[in-house]
Amino acid sequence: MPSKEDPIIIVGAGVFGLTLARELCQRGYIRVSVLDRHPPPVPDGSSVDLSRIIRSDYADAQYMKMADEAVAGWKSEYSRYYHESGILIISDEGGHSYLEKAKEQVQSQGGKINIFDNASRIRDAHCEFTSGTLRNCEGYLNPRGGWADSAGAVRHLASQCSALGASFVTGIRGSVDSFVLDGTRVVGVNVKEGPPLLAEHVVLATGAWTSRLIDITSNAVSTAQPVGFTQLTADEADMLRRMPIALDLASGFFVFPPTPSSNILKCARHGYGYETRISMTTPTGEQQQVSAPRLDGDGTRALFLPEDAEVSLREGLRRFFSSSISERPFVKKHLCWYTDTPKGDFIVDHYPHLQNLFLATGGSGHAFKFLPILGTYTCDVFEGLAPQSLSQKWACRADDTDVLMHGDGSRGGPPRRHLQDWEQLEFLGIS
C-alpha cells in the first residue's frame, strides 16, 4: 500500500486522471498533482465535447455491473449533467451477437426494454425517424440511459479535485516529454520547460498520447473516430427533442438528440477508426512508429474528416432523418481519439517494465460513462485492493505480440486504416 504522504503525479486530466485524483484525495493522499497541456476540460481529449453516451447495455457482465452503478451516480451526484433520453440500439435483421448478449444481460437484471422486430415498428414507436430510410433492421430501446454534458461534468470533476487538495500544473510545465529514471525506477517526469517534477509514483492517464511515452503497442492502439455537428433550427430541434440516442451496430453510426440551447445535432461513428504514423523513442532508446495525436495546440481545430468518414456519417443521418437535415453541411467536424485495446478492456495496472509507473488508460471509446465510479475501481487496483479477476481483466500485458484490436464486439463499419500521408498532414495541422 503506498504511503498517504508519497508525492503522486498523474499525467492527464481526462476521465481516468481526474477520477483517480479525486479518489486518492478522498482516501487521504495529500500530495496529488495532475499535469496536462491544457486545463480541464482538455479540448482535444476524449472526455469532453458536447455529449457522451451513458448506457448500461453491455455484453460483458463486469462492465454492466459498473455501468449500473455509474448510471445511479449520473442520476444523483451528476444529475445536472445527465439527460435520460433512452437508447435505441439496432442492427441488421438476422441478429447481431453483441446486441443479443446486451439484451440478455439487461433483461437478466430486470431491465425493461422495448423490443422491435423490424424497422416499421421502430418508426411507429419513434416518429422522429419516419422521414429517414430506416429499413431491414431490428433492435430494442432501453429507456434507462441517455447522454451527459461531458465538458460540464469534467469541469465539475476538476473543481472537486481542487477542493479536495489536488494541485494542477498546465501549459508548458504540464506538458510531459519523458520520464526521469533511476535505473528502471520512475522518479518523476521531464516537462517541456523548466526543471523535472519528481514524485514517488507516476500515473499515466494519457489516453491516446500514451504511446508517445511508453511502448504499449501490444496492449493498445490509438485511433481517430469521425464526429460531425449539424445546426438545427428551433423548429427542427423541437421535432427531435424527445428522440432517443440511436446506435446502429452494423455501421457504428450513432446520433444524439439535439443539444438544449444550441440545437446542435451531433453524430459520430463507433468504429475501427484511423491510425497515424508518428516516430517516437521508447524509454529504452528504441525507435518506433506509433499512432498518436499531435502534442501541440488543440487537435480538434483541424476540422478535418477523411472523405470516406464523412460519407459514412451522411449515410447514417439519411437512415434516420430527412434530406433537409442529413445533407446539411456540418458546422463542425473532426476526428476524436480512442485508445483501443484487444477486447475493449481498460488498462489499469502497474507497468511491468518500469517501477513506480502506473497506467490508467485504454478507454476504448466507452470509459467516460463510468465517471461517477471509475476512480473507486482504479484506486483499488493502485492500492492492491481490487479483486484478482478485475486486476487480470485490466492487466498490462506488455509481452504480447501481434495482438488484434477487435474490441468487445460493439464496433461497426469498415476496417481500421492508416491515414494517407496528405490526410495525416491535414489532420495534424502540419503545413
pLDDT tens sequence across 8-58: 999 999 999 999 999 999 999 999 999 999 999 999 988 888 999 999 999
Cell 479477476: give the residue.
Answer: 389
pLDDT per residue as tens digits for the range 193-246: 999 999 999 999 999 999 999 989 889 999 999 999 999 999 999 999 999 999
C-alpha distances (whole Å) from 422 to each of 231, 296, 303, 307, 418 are 29, 19, 15, 12, 11
CB within 8 Å of 341: residues ≥ 6 apart: 219, 220, 347, 362, 364, 405, 407
Question: 402 pLDDT exceeds 60?
Answer: no
Tens digit of pLDDT for each residue in 231-289? 999 999 999 999 999 999 999 999 999 999 899 999 999 999 999 999 887 767 778 89
Average pLDDT, the chain: 94
3-state secondary structure at position 268: strand
Is it the case that residue 418 has pLDDT exceeding 60? yes
Strand 357-361 with 201-204, pairing: parallel
Report the C-alpha dihedral over residues 124, 125, 129, 133, rounded to 10 degrees. -50
Mean pLDDT calculated for residue range 97-119: 95
What's the angle, vertex CA 141, arms to CA 138 and CA 145, rounded to 5? 145
Contact call for residues 135 and 38 (beta carbons, < 8 A): no
- Domain residue extents for the chain: 8-427
Q: What angle do CA 177, 178, 182 make, to 5 degrees?
A: 155
What's the average model confidence in pLDDT over 118-130? 96
Q: What's the CATH architecture for 8-427?
A: 3-Layer(bba) Sandwich (3.50)
Q: Tell me, what's the pLDDT at 332? A: 95
Residue 422, pLDDT > 80, answer yes
- What is the reported pLDDT for 405? 77
Residue 431's pLDDT is what?
44
Say if residue 95's pLDDT is above 90: no
Helix/strand/coil for 224: strand
CA 300, CA 216: separation in Å to the nearest integer?
A: 24
Task: Tell me which of 406 and 105 has the higher pLDDT.
Answer: 105
Could you report the per-residue pLDDT of 342-362, keeping only the tens digit for each? 999 999 999 999 999 999 999
Distance CA 406, CA 340 (A): 9
Does position 400 have pLDDT exceeding 90, yes or no? Answer: no
CA–CA separation, 218 vs 221, rounded Å?
8
